[in-house]
């Protein structure tokens, strides 16, 4: 474990890991020092990811080497890996099965103890009703044929392995058109690992090179990635995470009820045994992350701090608005990326990002009306430099004259009382559909989180935490000061969020469930 005490709470039990620069080495050390078992559940897990910690680099260069090393020591490794709709999320589906193929090779390379590694690629089984599938069939069939043609062309030219790399495409094309083409709109979005029944590693960060970034975020805008994990020394939480990972697949298949998992917050949905002909949504089983957010909002008195990739859930926005009306002294700090990834780094932007902008603007208007300009701060992170030729040229890849930092973290802090760190965004998909996991912290870990966010985002090297009643004013002053300065002269990373840029690209998609994005 790292000896950087600035990352730990007063008890030493909770370590806050900001960005892959801190999180990847911590996870490497956990696996390197494991004695019995490593149990993991990730949306994305690429074994070709480079090792970063000095200790792990002594045994190899990538996670392939680290996993082989652990297996040969006799450590049992289980990985639940998300799979995806092959038509709607082709590249993610391809990446899943590339990981499976690599790890099959790892089993061979590890020798006799390779059998200690098991990999479970899992597609969330929830599907829309038959009429909904029939309605979507022409779009899905067209997408399938396009992907198949591209894959066959790649195989012929030597640029890829064709449909062998996309097993879901062949399976989907075998379905009869009259029954409605299959589609799987729900996913497993969790990112957690438990080691030796003691450690829990949990938050919003998957494992691959795309997500690697440092605290300086000094790279082309489209390569930046800000995220957050926790490392917790807690046998109860570790046991809860293990129990969840060995149970969630049966829950989503409607074969079992969710196990009790003390102190672990979850979102889980399941396929419907009798699907409504027109229904798209899955059966909602657990909504603990949503419920805990509502409960904490209802108790907030001074300051709510939300850091999220997406702020798109109207119910949550209305709960904040209701509390703002009830508590005249309550203030809200909201930190979001300057734009969704598919809007920031693609030109023209994709429809999912534009619809997401529409939903987020609605939520922002709700909280603006309730809090007013003196009680609400909405900010986004940017780099302290002007754009150059390496940065993405799309209009929203730049904000306030600087390349954006893409924010993916999921953190909610309520006064000084509680903090929630999870894989869940503040949108309907994360709060009601996808498989998500998180934890709530109280006591000294909350002070740790508040202090580190203050230091990181505001460029404040002081170890003194702003008093709760003064924190909003300090944050607002810092963000507004940055707005009036050239990028190189700013302190920290935050500038005001640009609603006008979002409004220019936003589009409503009537009939599309808000949980889709």
Percent of the chain with pLDDT over 90: 81
- Interval 185-239: pLDDT, tens: 999 999 999 999 999 999 999 999 999 999 999 999 999 999 999 999 999 999 9
List b or e across 125-157, with b for residues whose CB sees 16 or more CB atoms inside 10 angstroms: ebbbbeebbbebbeebbebbeebbeebeeeeee
Closest CA to 165 of 85, 89, 81, 95: 95
| 118-121, long-range: CB < 8 A, 24+ apart | 118/77, 118/78, 118/79, 119/78, 119/79, 119/81, 120/78, 120/79, 120/80, 120/81, 120/249, 121/81, 121/82, 121/83, 121/96, 121/97
Measured distance between the N- and C-terminal CA atoms of the chain, rounded to whole angstroms = 37
Q: Which residues contact 200 (CB under 8 A, 6 or more apart)?
A: 192, 193, 194, 230, 231, 232, 234, 237, 238, 241, 439
* Average pLDDT rounded to a whole number, residues 336-360: 96
Q: How many CA atoms lie within 13 A of 78 on its CB side?
A: 14
Say whether pLDDT at 381 is over 80. Answer: yes
- What residues does 270 pair with on adjacent strands? 283
Token pair for 255: 């074969």
Mean pLDDT of 397-421: 98
Structure-token pair, residue 253: 């298949």
Q: Helices in 158-194 by DSSP H: which ranges?
A: 167-173
H or E stretch covering 354: helix 351-371
Q: Are 206 and 44 in contact (CB under 8 A)?
A: yes
Q: Distance between CA 142 and CA 148 in Å, rounded?
A: 10
pTM, entire model: 0.94
Residue 424: partners with Cβ closer than 8 Å, 6 or more residues away: 189, 267, 289, 410, 430, 431, 434, 436, 438
Fill in the DSSP letter of residue 115. G
pLDDT in tens, 159-172: 656 667 778 776 66
Give the integer Cα–Cα distance in Å for 20 and 52.
10
Instruction: Look at phi and psi of residue 153 and say left if phi exceeds 0, alpha if psi is from -120 to 50, else beta.
Output: alpha
Kind of pairing between the strands at 303-307 and 331-335: parallel
Contact between residue 316 and residue 360 where contact means Cβ atoms under 8 Å apart: no
Residue 275 pLDDT > 60: yes
The token pair at 371 is 């809090």
Could you give the dihedral angle defined by the CA atoms of residues 334, 343, 138 and 127, in that order, rounded to the nearest 10 degrees?
A: -30
Angle made by CA atoms 446, 449, 451, in degrees to the nearest 5: 105
Model confidence pLDDT, tens digit, residues 49-86: 999 999 999 999 999 999 999 999 999 999 999 999 98
Quick: pLDDT tens for 295-308.
999 999 999 999 99
* CA-to-CA separations, 86 to 12, 82, 93, 362, 364, in angstroms, rounded: 43, 12, 6, 31, 34
Could you tell me which of 103, 144, 142 has the C-alpha nearest to residue 120? 103
Q: What whole-number percentage of the chain has pLDDT above 70?
A: 90
Please answer whether residues 444 and 10 qualify as being in contact, where contact means their C-beta atoms are separated by less than 8 angstroms.
Answer: yes
Q: Where are the alpha helices (DSSP H) in 207-308?
A: 235-245, 248-252, 288-299
Tell me the pLDDT of the chain averaged across its residues.
Answer: 93
* Res 2: pLDDT: 40
Contact between 404 and 224 under an 8 Å Cβ cutoff? The reply is yes
Q: What's the confidence (pLDDT) of residue 3? A: 42
Q: Output DSSP code: residue 504.
A: H
Q: Where residue 155 falls among pLDDT bands split at 50, 70, 90? A: low
Handedness of CA 476, 4, 22, 7 (dihedral sign): negative
Of the listed ranges 53-67, 250-264, 330-344, 455-469, the least confidently predicted one is: 455-469
């Amino acid at each position: 474990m790292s000896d950087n005490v600035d990352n730990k709470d007063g008890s030493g039990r909770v370590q806050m890991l900001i960005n892959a620069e801190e999180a990847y080495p911590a996870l490497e050390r956990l696996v390197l020092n494991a004695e019995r078992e490593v149990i993991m559940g990730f949306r994305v897990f690429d074994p070709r990811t480079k090792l970063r910690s000095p200790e792990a680099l002594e045994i190899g260069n990538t996670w392939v080497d680290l996993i082989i090393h652990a297996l040969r020591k006799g450590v049992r490794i289980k990985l639940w890996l998300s799979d995806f709709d092959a038509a709607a999320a082709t590249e993610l589906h391809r990446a899943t099965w590339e990981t499976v193929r690599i790890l099959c090779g790892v089993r061979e390379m590890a020798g006799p103890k390779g059998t200690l590694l098991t990999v479970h690629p899992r597609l969330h089984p929830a599907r829309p009703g038959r009429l909904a599938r029939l309605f979507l069939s022409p779009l899905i069939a067209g997408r399938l044929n396009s992907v198949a043609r591209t894959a066959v062309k790649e195989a012929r030219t030597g640029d890829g392995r064709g449909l062998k790399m996309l097993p879901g495409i062949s399976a989907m094309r075998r379905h009869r058109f009259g029954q409605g083409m299959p589609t799987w709109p729900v996913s497993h979005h969790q990112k957690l690992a438990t080691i030796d029944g003691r450690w829990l590693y949990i938050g919003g960060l998957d494992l691959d090179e795309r997500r690697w970034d440092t605290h300086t975020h000094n790279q082309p805008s489209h390569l930046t990635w800000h995220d957050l994990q926790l490392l917790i020394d807690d046998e109860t939480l570790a046991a809860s995470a293990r129990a969840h990972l060995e149970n969630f697949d049966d829950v989503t298949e409607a074969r079992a009820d969710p196990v009790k998992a003390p102190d672990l917050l979850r979102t889980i949905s399941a396929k419907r045994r009798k699907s409504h002909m027109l229904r798209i949504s899955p059966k909602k089983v657990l909504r603990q992350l949503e419920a805990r957010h509502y409960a904490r909002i209802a108790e907030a008195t001074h300051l709510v701090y939300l850091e999220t990739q997406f702020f798109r859930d109207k119910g949550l926005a209305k709960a904040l608005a209701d509390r703002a009306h009830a508590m005249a002294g309550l203030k809200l700090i909201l930190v979001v990326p300057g734009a969704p990834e598919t809007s920031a780094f693609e030109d023209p932007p994709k429809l999912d990002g534009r619809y997401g902008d529409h939903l987020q603007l609605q939520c922002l208007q709700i909280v603006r009306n309730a809090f007013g300009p003196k009680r609400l701060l909405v900010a986004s992170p940017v780099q302290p430099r002007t754009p150059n030729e390496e940065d993405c040229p799309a209009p929203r890849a730049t904000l306030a004259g600087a390349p954006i930092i893409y924010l993916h973290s999921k953190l909610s802090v309520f006064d000084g009382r509680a903090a929630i760190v999870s894989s869940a965004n503040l949108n309907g998909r994360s709060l009601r559909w996808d498989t998500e996991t998180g934890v709530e912290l109280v006591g000294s870990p909350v002070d740790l989180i508040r202090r580190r966010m203050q230091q990181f985002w505001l460029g404040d090297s002081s170890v003194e935490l702003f008093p709760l009643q003064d924190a909003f004013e300090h944050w607002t002053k810092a963000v507004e000061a940055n707005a009036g300065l050239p990028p190189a002269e700013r302190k920290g990373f935050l500038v005001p969020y640009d609603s006008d840029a979002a409004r220019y690209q936003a589009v409503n998609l009537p009939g599309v469930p808000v949980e889709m994005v």
